[in-house]
Structure 1
C-alpha cells in the first residue's frame, strides 16, 4: 500500500511540475502601432498603391546599367572584411542562443577514476603485530544529472531573448550590407563626377591655350597690350592647378573604392571616362506602412523591443522559487567487480530557493526592465521617424536636383555662348581681354557647377533607394526555429554553420587576394562624348 502511495505522490508531483512549467511571466508583446499622415509631402513620387509597387529590387544598382559599378558591388559584397565581420557577429549570436537554450534540458556528466593508497606501518593507533591492511585501492565510475525545471519560463524567456538578439544581429547585417552597397555606389558616382569635371577642365585648358596664343599674336602685332597675355597665362595656369586638385580627389576616391572591394590601392585602378555613362534612375515608393517592412534598421529596433519585453518576464520570474533537481548513480569497488549491485551507489535530491528579503533588489530589477522596454519603444519610434525623414529628404533631393541640373544646363549654354561671343569681339578689337576673362570664368564655373549638380542628383537616387530599404524585406529575417546553428547530434562541420537568412560565413576565395580588382562585365556602356565646349548627352 505504501508503494502505491509513493507512486501516486510521485505522479502528482510530476503533473504539478508539468503544469507549472510554461507559466510565462512576460507581458503580451504587441509592437507600437503608429498613425500615419493622410498623405506625404513628396513631389508626386510617393503614392498609395499595392505594397509591391515600385519596391526596389535587391540588386538595385543594376538599374544604372553600368558594368563597372556592377563588378564593384559584387566584389564588395563577396569580400568586404567589415561586412564579413558583421556576419561573424550573427554567427556568435546564434551560438549564444544555443548555449542558453541548452539549460532547458538536463545536464548529464559522466565520471570514472581509480586510486590506490598505502598507509605507513608506524601510523598512529597501529599497534605492534597489527594485521590491518596497509594498502587500499578504489575504482569507481558514476553519472550525475541536474535539471532546473523552468516553472516560470525564466529560461525560455532568456532563450527567446537570445534568438531575438540573433534576429537583431541579422537585421544589423542587412543594415551593414545596404550601407556598403550605398557607399560603393556613392563613391563610384563621385569618381565619375571627378572624371567629368576633369574633362571640363581639360576642354577649358585647350580653349585657354588657344586664348594665350591669340593674345601673344596680338601682342606681336602691337594690337594689344602685354597685360592681356599675362591675364591669359594666369587663367591657364590657375585652371591647370584646379585640374590637378580634381585628379588628387579622384585618386583618393579610387583608393576608397579599393578598400571597400578588398583590394590594395596600389593594385586598383578604374580607367577614367569623360562622362557618367549611367542611366537616369527615378525610384518610387509605395504605402508608408510597407516602409516599416523594408528597412532593416527598423527591424533591428523592433527586435530589440521584443527582447526588452521578454526581459520583463525574466525579472518577474525572480519573485518565485528557484527549483533544481539533481541525481547521481554509479559503482565503487576496490577491484574491478564494478557492475555488482552490492557495489552500487546513488543519491538524489531537490532544492528550492526563495529569497525572503533582499531590500528591494527584485522590485528594482523589475522596474528597470519596464523602463528598458519603454526606452526600446522610444528608440523604435525614433527609428521610424528617421526612416520617414530620410525618405522625404531623398524624394526632395531627387526631384529638386533634377530640376536644378536642367537649370544649370541652361546656364552652361548661355555662359558658353557669352564666352564665344566675347572672344570673337576681342579678336575683332571690339572689347578688352578683361571681358574675355570674366566670360571664360563664368563659363567654367557654370560647367563645373552643372557636373556637381548632376553628381549630387545621381547620389541622391542612391540615398533614396537606401532610405527605402534597398530591396530588403522583413521576411528575410531568419525564423526563431532556424536560429540554432547546428543539429542536436551534429559533431562535424562546426567550423562554419549552415547559412540562414542569406548570411554565409564561408570564406570567399578572393578574401586573401588583395591584388585583384573587380573586372567589369562584358556588356558595353555608351559613353557620352565631348563636343567643342559643350558636354553633349
Structure 2
C-alpha cells in the first residue's frame, strides 16, 4: 500500500472517531432536583423567645440573608476576651477539626482523580528479552532456536466522554467535596460550641465558688458569735455544734467544686489541642452577660446549617452516581495509538526499518452481563433515596433543635424570675432569723434552717443561669452560628 493510501486511511479513521465523539451531547441520567422539604413560615416557640424574630440583632450578630454567606465568630456576642482567645486556639489547634480538614483535602484530590479521566492516557516502556523455544514443539518455525527481542515504544489512548460517564463521575466527586467542606464547617461549629459550653460552666463554677467563700466567712463569724454566747452561758452546746456543722458543710461544698472545675479545665485544654498539664484558667467570679439571640426565619436555616448543606450535597452526589450507572448501558469509544522500535539485534534497535506503529478507534459495548448493570443502577437509585431521606431527617432535626432551645430559653427566663423572688425571700428570712437569734427571740436552729434554704436557692439560681447560657449556645449552634454576608 502506498504512503498516500495509508495516510488517507488514517485520516478516515480519525474523522470517524471524531464523528462518534460528537455524540457527547447525549447525557443520560436524571437531572438533579433538591429534595423537597416542608419549611414552616415561623418557629412555633419564637413568639415566647427572649427576643422576637424581627428584633434588631445584638452587636456582632447578623441574620442570614438569601445570598452568599460565611461563618462568623459567634462567640463574640458574649463579650469575653478570655473566651475569644480560647476559641481562636480551637480553630488552629483542635485535632478533630484538623482531621476534618484532611478529609476535605482528600475529597479535593478525588475531584482531580475524576477529572484526569478526561485526559489521554500515555505510557512508555522498553524491554530486552531472550527466548529459547523447545525443539520438541511441532509446527513452530523457531523450534530449538534462541531469539532476542529488543523493543521500545509509546502507547496513547483516549476515551471521549460520549455519554457523560466521566462527567457524572466528576459531578459526584465535586458534590462530595462540597459535602466535606460543609462537614468541616459543622465540626468546627460543634467544637467551638463545646468549648463555649465548658467555659460557661467554668465561669459559673467560679461564681458559685465565690458565693461559698463569702458564706464560709459569714458562717465563721456566725460561729464566733455562737461561741461567745456559749462562753457566756447564753447559747447551748447543741447550737455551737450546729454552727460548726454549718461551717464545715460550706467548706466541703467549696472544696467539692474544685473537682468539677478541674474537669472543665482539662476538657478545654484538649479542645484547644494541648495537654491538660500545660493549661489553666484563672478564676473569674463575675457572671457573663446573657445575650439575646434572634432566631430569624426557618427558611434561612437551610442556608445557615452546614450539616444540612452536607446532606444536600450528598443527595447531589448520589444523583450523579445514578447518571454514571445509567451511562454504563451505552458503548465506549476508545481512540488509541502506539509506536516505537523493535528488533532482534541490539545494533539495529533504533534504526528506521525497526519502527512500528498502530492507530485506530474502537467502539466497545456490553451485550450481556447477567443483569449486573441493571442491578448497579438499582443500587445507585436506592442510595439516592437513602441520601434524600437523610437530608429530610437532617432538616427536621435542625428545626427540632431550634424549637427545643427556643422553648428552653423562654421557660428558663420565666423560671429565673420566680427563682430570683425565691432567693430574695430566703435571703430576707435568713437575715430576720439571725436578728431574732441575736435578740434572743429564737434558737440557732432557725438560723441554720433559713440559711440552708437561702444557700440552696442561691445555688439553684446559679445553676439556672448556667442552663440559660447552655440553651443560648445550643441555639446558636442549632442556627448554624452567626452568618455575615461576604
Deviation at 1:403, TM superposition (A): 3.2
Matches of 2:285 and 2:244, distance apart in 1:
25
**Equivalent residue for 1:332?**
342
CA contact (8 A) 2:331 2:365 kept: yes
**Equivalent residue for 2:465?**
454
Q: 1:316 aligns with which of 326, 330, 336?
A: 326
CA contact (8 A) 1:215 1:229 kept: yes
SS state at 2:151 partner: strand
Matches of 2:308 and 2:131, distance apart in 1:
71
Matches of 1:410 and 1:50, distance apart in 2:
30
CA contact (8 A) 1:405 1:453 kept: yes
SS state at 1:21 partner: helix
**Equivalent residue for 2:301?**
291
- C-alpha RMSD over aligned residues: 2.9
Q: Flag the 1:48–1:16 CA change in 2: closer, same or farther, 3 A.
A: farther
Deviation at 1:53, TM superposition (A): 5.7
Tell me whether 1:240 sits opposite 2:251 in the alignment.
yes
Deviation at 1:75, TM superposition (A): 0.9
Q: 1:32 aligns with which of 29, 32, 35?
A: 35
Q: Flag the 1:57–1:432 CA change in 2: closer, same or farther, 3 A.
A: farther
**Equivalent residue for 1:434?**
445
CA contact (8 A) 1:143 1:329 kept: yes
CA contact (8 A) 2:14 2:360 kept: no
CA contact (8 A) 1:49 1:287 kept: no
Q: Flag the 1:399–1:4 CA change in 2: closer, same or farther, 3 A.
A: same
Deviations 1:440-459 (A, max 9, x none): 11110111111111122122
Q: Flag the 1:48–1:148 CA change in 2: closer, same or farther, 3 A.
A: farther
| Mean Cα deviation higher: 34-43 or 148-157 | 34-43
SS state at 2:274 partner: coil
**Equivalent residue for 1:101?**
115
CA contact (8 A) 1:63 1:279 kept: no
SS state at 2:221 partner: helix
Q: Flag the 1:436–1:348 CA change in 2: closer, same or farther, 3 A.
A: same
**Equivalent residue for 1:527?**
none
Q: 2:238 aligns with which of 219, 223, 227?
A: 227
CA contact (8 A) 1:53 1:285 kept: no
**Equivalent residue for 1:268?**
279
Superposition pairs for residues 471-486 of structure 1, below 5 Å?
A: 471-472=482-483
Unpaired runs of 5+ in structure 2?
A: 65-69, 137-144
**Equivalent residue for 1:73?**
87
Matches of 1:424 and 1:46, distance apart in 2:
46
Superposition pairs for residues 284-433 of structure 1, below 5 Å?
A: 284-333=294-343, 334-336=345-347, 338-433=349-444
CA contact (8 A) 1:25 1:312 kept: no
Q: Flag the 1:355–1:315 CA change in 2: closer, same or farther, 3 A.
A: same
Deviation at 1:50, TM superposition (A): 11
Deviation at 1:319, TM superposition (A): 1.9
Deviation at 1:336, TM superposition (A): 5.0
CA contact (8 A) 1:296 1:472 kept: no
Deviation at 1:46, TM superposition (A): 5.0
Flag the structure with higher helix content. 2
CA contact (8 A) 2:17 2:335 kept: no
Unpaired runs of 5+ in structure 1?
A: 126-133, 477-537
Deviation at 1:72, TM superposition (A): 0.3
Matches of 1:50 and 1:444, distance apart in 2:
38
Q: 1:47 aligns with which of 43, 50, 53?
A: 53
Deviation at 1:195, TM superposition (A): 0.3
Tell me whether 1:217 sits opposite 2:228 in the alignment.
yes
TM-score normalised by length of structure 1: 0.79
**Equivalent residue for 2:67?**
none
CA contact (8 A) 1:53 1:286 kept: no
Matches of 2:359 and 2:111, distance apart in 1:
30
SS state at 2:33 partner: coil
**Equivalent residue for 1:148?**
159
